Amino acid sequence: MTKAEFVSLVAAKASLTKKDAEAALDGVLETISEVLTKGDSVTFVGFGTFSVTERAARTAKVPSTGKEVKVPAKKVVKFKVGKNFKDAVAECKTCKKK
C-alpha cells in the first residue's frame, strides 16, 4: 500500500479531507521520529511500541568471499507489536497469504 492509498483510507475513516489526513499523518510520523531521536519510546496501547536500541560493534563474514569485515556499533529502531494488533492480524480471514 502506498502512502497516498493509506491517506485515502484514513481520510475516509476519520471523515477528513485527503489534505488534512496527509497533514495529520505527516505530523504523527515526524513526532515519532523526533521522540525516537531523543532516545525515548512511543507506545500505543494495543498496537505496539517503537523504541531505539543500541547494536554493539561486531565482526561479520561476507558469504561470497569469506572475508571478515568490521560492522560498527549503531542505533536501530525496533517495533514490538501489541497484543490486540497481533491477535487481529492472526485472525484475519481476508488477508493475503504468500
CB-CB contact of 85 with 48 (8 Å): yes
Lowest mean pLDDT among 1-10, 35-44, 89-98: 89-98
pLDDT averaged over the chain?
93
Phi, psi of 27 (to 5 degrees): -65, -45
Instruction: Walk me through the domains of the chain, giving residue ranges and CATH numbers.
Output: 3-90 (4.10.520.10)
Of the ranges 1-5, 39-43, 67-71, 92-96, which one carries the lowest mean pLDDT score?
Answer: 92-96
Tell me what the mean pLDDT of segment 12-40 comes to.
Answer: 96
**What pLDDT, on the 0 to 100 scale, is given for residue 98?**
55
User: Mind listing the pLDDT tens digit for each residue in 28-57?
Assistant: 999 999 999 999 999 999 999 999 999 999
> What is the average per-residue pLDDT within 74-82?
96
**Single pTM value for the model:** 0.78
Contact by Cβ (8 Å): 68, 93? no
| d(C-alpha 65, C-alpha 79), whole Å | 33
What one-character-per-residue DSSP string does the chain give?
--HHHHHHHHHHHHT--HHHHHHHHHHHHHHHHHHHHTT--EEETTTEEEEEEEEPPEEEE-TTT--EEEE--EEEEEEEE-HHHHHHHHT-SSS---
pLDDT band at residue 97 using 50, 70 and 90 as cut-offs: low
